[in-house]
Chain A
């Protein structure tokens, strides 16, 4: 769904250069014209543990109408929220601003922004074009160097303003941290309600900031463990339709659901391959669980493991060449890596406790996992050879880490213990930085579990 349009637009009337980007519906066009030669003095190193968040002023985007002003205010709010939640930025309260948003359009009075300790400044404008499209432009300034760091313009249908705000957030994040952003993404998860013994579970999807939330299934059927396809257009998950636990694919655009394969036993734990051509899953029969792949075009099934143990929760490496899974073949759950054809199986986790739900980082360098040790559950990461284990968080029950597309942030779910009446039982999503800092609840309308983070939306 990506169309790249080469546009040679004249630089906007005012200097420095403004890069123009077109967004029509979901079609994004990124044309990188020459950017001003600002030196990147302003930079956050996000590989450090605790970072002092960068004070940033994000002015309301001004519009040509009152409706435009409203959208502009909301866009500034979305951008502020994104950057604040990253833990790397500290958006400054608008009430402290000296120069008004309207005055900014000419040129920032940097002294005014230094006075309130803003190190970076974002401002922008929206305008509805004669053809009905919305034009959004924004600029990011280094306040102390008095230089523009980036400037872009976007064209889109007005209803799409929220996505533009996420894309702008990603541009700001990347310009200042040097890493790709993760704000133009979505989460699919299981929404939960009701008492523990009659828990209603529904497939739900929302933007990473909680907006555009919707339920995809009605809750009559138990559904679990959703995962996005690489294009984020499909979700593979486990559903108990007709009391038969089987792997399904859900098409987000059409709402159609399709069972994947007619296995003799329970099929579960599905994940797409990085190229989207296959689904890797587990099949349990006669007390034995093994790992299989299904080619989605030919529906050919290939068996990858053949042991009398439980082999499950298999996930591909981002280059598709290897698979990590957990198995109790050694007596208790541990992590194993094998080639994507099932060859060269070798154990990588050797620590105390049980290891589960391994997930390869999109950068390829780390594997995140759930660990159970004593009475605690942990979320941790290790290198792909099993070395360098680091535990990021723990709780009565924390489970199922999922990576941001830039490999810097994880989301997982946290369940609380309940009393004899089932009181106290909650399940919520949390995010945490790879550094182990900045743990935050992801607010959902109902209880939540089994999160899966989408790639950047194409």
Chain B
């Protein structure tokens, strides 16, 4: 519930063109099958622990921690959820602010598909992210896509929570 409110606040903040978006992980409480996972994975370098010192403006740390570098997808889906759009709007705002930055959008899948189909699905997810960033005014020449299919999971555990965290599009600064 708390996360949900934060998310709404984030959206409102964005609409108001506020410069600092408070929501950090790009995820919100999960409801329904296509909802994003609730928590950051324990296996990646957890960005949420860096609350004491504020990341330098324009740094990749700021992009990951304050903006949110990833969005999540439903099973076998590539359409962007409302949460995903919110995150990408923050990303676009940040990218407009730092026009020299270029990015690679990585598309990833969970382990519940066949390898080659997942490579194609990851490419589709990366492009869904790219297309939205372009619609928000980011120049196409700044955005590359790369699919890893099911080859680079971030969350371990063969369960719904881990699969949800692995079905992701990650915007990586080059």
Residues of A within 8 A of B (CB): 195-197, 199, 201, 222, 224-225, 238, 243, 245, 265-266, 268-269, 282, 284-289, 310, 312-313, 326, 328, 332-333, 356-357, 370, 372, 396-397, 399-400, 415, 417-422, 425, 449-450
Contact = CB atoms under 8 A, between A and B. Distances in A.
Given A284-B124, A400-B115, 14 more contacts: A197-B153, A245-B147, A268-B119, A282-B116, A287-B78, A289-B120, A310-B120, A312-B116, A356-B113, A397-B112, A399-B115, A417-B158, A418-B157, A420-B162
Contact of B146 (A199, A245, A310): A245
B29 to A, nearest CB: 20
Interface string B98-109: 000000100000
22 contacts: A222-B148, A268-B116, A268-B119, A282-B120, A284-B119, A284-B124, A287-B127, A289-B123, A310-B120, A328-B117, A356-B117, A357-B114, A357-B116, A370-B114, A396-B158, A415-B111, A418-B156, A419-B158, A420-B157, A420-B162, A422-B157, A449-B115
B92 interface: no
Contacts of A265: 123
Contact of A310 (B111, B117, B128): B117
A269 B115 CA distance: 9
B105 to A, nearest CB: 11
Interface of B: 42-44, 76, 78, 104, 111-117, 119-121, 123-124, 127-128, 131, 146-148, 151-154, 156-158, 162
A312 B151 contact: no
A275 B86 CA distance: 52
Given A284-B147, A397-B111, A421 B156 contact: yes
Contacts of B76: 332
A415 to B, nearest CB: 7
Contacts of B119: 224, 238, 245, 266, 268-269, 284, 312
A222 B150 CA distance: 12
Nearest to B126: A287
A400 B116 CA distance: 10
Contact of B115 (A195, A224, A328, A417): A224
B114 A196 contact: no
A142 B128 CA distance: 67
Contacts of B43: 197, 422
A197 B152 CA distance: 5
Nearest to B114: A356
Nearest to A419: B157
Given A197-B154, A332-B76, A225 B123 contact: no
A196 B123 contact: no
A272 to B, nearest CB: 16
Contacts of B78: 287
Contacts of A419: 156-158
A245 to B, nearest CB: 7
Contacts of B116: 225, 268-269, 282, 312-313, 356-357
Nearest to B125: A287
A360 to B, nearest CB: 16
A40 B82 CA distance: 72
Nearest to B152: A197
Contacts of B128: 287
A333 B117 CA distance: 8
Contacts of B120: 268, 282, 284, 289, 310, 312
